[in-house]
Amino acid sequence: MILVIGIGNPDRGDDAAGLAVARKVRDATKPGEVTVRELVGDQLALLDEWTGATEVFLIDAVCSGGTPGTVYRFDAADALTERFRHRGTHTFSLADVIELARALGRLPRRLAGFGIEGASFAIGDGLSPQAQAAVDEVTSVLLGDLKAGV
Amino acid sequence: MTHGTRRTISVPALTRVEGEGGLEIVVSDGQVTEARLDIYEPPRFFEALLRGRQYTEPPDITARICGICPVAYQMSACQAIEDACQTTVTEEIKDLRRLIYCGEWIESHALHIYLLHAPDFLGYPSGIHLARDHPDIVARGLSIKKAGNDLMAAVGGRSVHPVNVKVGGFYRAPAKSELHALVPQLEQAREDAEETIAWVAGFDFPGFDRDYEFVSLRHPGQYPITEGRIASTSGLDISPAEYDQHFTEFQVAHSTALHSVLDGRTYLTGPLARYSLNSGKLPAEVQNAARRAGLADTCANPFKSIVVRAVELLFACDEALRLIYEYRPPDPPAVDVRPRQATGYGCTEAPRGLLYHRYAITGDGTITDAKIVPPTSQNQRAIEADLRDFAAPRLDMDHETLTSECEQAVRNHDPCISCAAHFLDLRLTDKLTDKAVRQT
């Protein structure tokens, strides 16, 4: 099973970028071709979300001080960079969840994805123009990868 | 930093606690002169933003204070608003509230035990490191946590910031079949909780029995979660409406979270307090499990709080199963709550301890005043006293070990700094830096 998971908070501006990509991928693919999910909240739930999937693509917003709209690619074959790690502790960062899954032997055969640097995470805001452009770019690249069977 | 005979043990950013805070212990001439839990998260002013909102809104607004214990906020808020409106909910609604609260205790306690606290006892810097050497154990913890999350989602609509809770009850009562579907998972969680107790009971605990004044709810018929009177080991026995006559909050320079005292005294709320004031109310099987783990009727060693949490984990699984077996869907799922000009008070037992809410509302349901006192705020002074008294006889320990054990002394209380400061923006990119300098 190929699984695409968008991660984020729909009510916090550019934090919704990952969810926006997931929705666009769902609209652009046929049911059964790709499974698309949206994850809001506890990222530890990823461990269960991707159980049974062989190839998983994650899309999440990033707040690392980079230029808004920048797209970062990652492949979980390698440890994620600090960009995907935030402090806080009861809420685990994407990098932490991936390392925990690696330790538990619960990583899918292939796990890769995209981070989108956000401009604003204000409550109630929509996507910024920079994040919107990045959402379009990531969707296009991801659909291309999925089509090519990467 | 060292100046002459002055030495500082400093952890600018604590890990494995929720939120942003640090600790600092100052030693002068071989004596601990200062022990501070520095909370520097900016406050989010929830109490102010509730003013002018409708009386129906606090459960949804205050749930946003915390992603780990949103149900606690919802339940204390509902109780306070219903108190102001002189509304009594049905027994079926009370039971369903207790059930979703069990889900929160399960997920919160499992997280703290396995990923935040156990690494301290086993010498690992994080839960991830623990998982590398003991994947089966961490997987067990995550499975228990998931059972709690799934229970919260079944009753609350989703596990983080549930959306099915309202003043007066619930928007929708889950069908019996939806809850019964959780039984196998909860039975497994119950079994895992028993193994958890046996596992943590085998850890090494420093001898550090404290003379705490414990404060928790007490209820004549049950181990307290959703209701009760406020009791303390010094004989306090008051209703939530009398809270403000005895508990005083005040500001200190080094914390953005208000400190709190009980009639001028430092006190502790949380699992140790709940257990010590109410262990006799636990079901016999849970009491037996506590005995097997070496616990007496009370426990005043904060390092053993992990054992008490494990006992409460077993209790919450048992209680959830009981409530599911006896479940009668509330019909209607909520009672009508009409506003009236009054002040209402609510107190429930969040995973980390007593959570107090107070609301003043007008006849048309507008909130004119709100007060929220989370457990971590209340525990700050007790945590600082722990730090002071724990460090004092251990000053000859090597610096790194002492610093690490002082951090553990804070984590014993599972502080939720975000709750204490009512704030949740967690953005720190720097890794923990110990700036302490060994005395030379």
pLDDT tens digits for range B389-424: 999 999 888 888 888 888 899 999 988 776 666 432
Per DSSP, B412 falls in state: T
What pLDDT sits at residue B425?
A: 31
Chain A contact set for B132 (CB, 8 A)? 103
Is the pLDDT score of B427 beyond 50? no
For residues B370-383, give the mean pLDDT: 93
| CB pair distance less than 8 Å for B142 and A47 | yes
SS3 call for B217: strand
| Cβ atoms < 10 Å from Cβ of B399 | 15
For residues A15-22, give the mean pLDDT: 96
The span from the CA of B271 to the CA of B255, in Å, is 23
Please name the residue that has the structure tokens 């071709």: A33
How many domains are contained in chain A?
1
What pLDDT sits at residue A90?
A: 53
- Going by pLDDT thresholds of 50, 70 and 90, the confidence category of residue B21 is confident
The span from the CA of A35 to the CA of A13, in Å, is 25
| CB pair distance less than 8 Å for A41 and B116 | no
Please give the share of chain B, as a percent, with pLDDT higher than 70: 91
Least reliable range by pLDDT among B78-82, B155-159, B275-279: B155-159
Nearest CB partner across the interface for B142, out of A44, A65, A89? A44
- A149–B contact, CB cutoff 8 A: no
Look up the domain containing A46 and give its range: 2-148
| CB pair distance less than 8 Å for B15 and A89 | yes
Chain A contact set for B111 (CB, 8 A)? 90
At B23, phi and psi to the nearest 5? -135, 150
CATH number at residue A64: 3.40.50.1450
Mutation for testing the A interface, residue in B149, B429, B430, B433 having most A CBs under 10 Å? B429
| CB pair distance less than 8 Å for A103 and B146 | no
Q: What CATH number labels B46-377?
A: 1.10.645.10
The span from the CA of B226 to the CA of B350, in Å, is 9
What pLDDT sits at residue B438?
A: 28
Range A32-51 burial, b when 16+ CB lie within 10 A, else e: eebbbbbbbbbbbbbbebbe
What pLDDT sits at residue B255?
A: 84
What pLDDT sits at residue B37?
A: 87
Question: What would the DSSP string read from start to end of B270-331?
Answer: SHHHHHHHHGGGS-HHHHHHHHHTT--S----GGGHHHHHHHHHHHHHHHHHHHHHT----S
- Going by pLDDT thresholds of 50, 70 and 90, the confidence category of residue B43 is low
SS3 call for B265: strand
- B436–A contact, CB cutoff 8 A: no
For residues A34-52, give the mean pLDDT: 90
Q: How many CB pairs under 8 A join A and B?
A: 67
Least reliable range by pLDDT among B63-67, B159-163, B370-374, B423-427: B423-427
Per DSSP, B115 falls in state: I
The span from the CA of A41 to the CA of A38, in Å, is 10
Closest CA to A59 of A100, A3, A13, A105: A3
- B18–A contact, CB cutoff 8 A: yes
pLDDT tens digits for range B332-347: 999 999 999 999 999 9
Question: What would the DSSP string read from start to end of A58-94?
Answer: EEEEE-SSS-TT-EEEEETTS---GGG----SSSPPH
What pLDDT sits at residue B241?
A: 98
Is the pLDDT score of A46 beyond 50? yes
**Cβ contacts of A87 within 8 Å, gap of 6 or more:** B13, B15, B20, B426, B427, B428, B429
pTM: 0.90
Please give the share of chain A, as a percent, with pLDDT higher than 90: 65
Is the pLDDT score of B435 beyond 80? no
State the nearest Cα–Cα gap between A65 and chain B, in angstroms.
10
The domain segmentation of chain B, as residue ranges, is 46-377
Contact B85, B338 (CB under 8 A): yes
Which pair of tokens denotes residue B49?
A: 């933003």
| CB pair distance less than 8 Å for B20 and A47 | no
For residues B214-227, give the mean pLDDT: 97
What pLDDT sits at residue B440?
A: 22
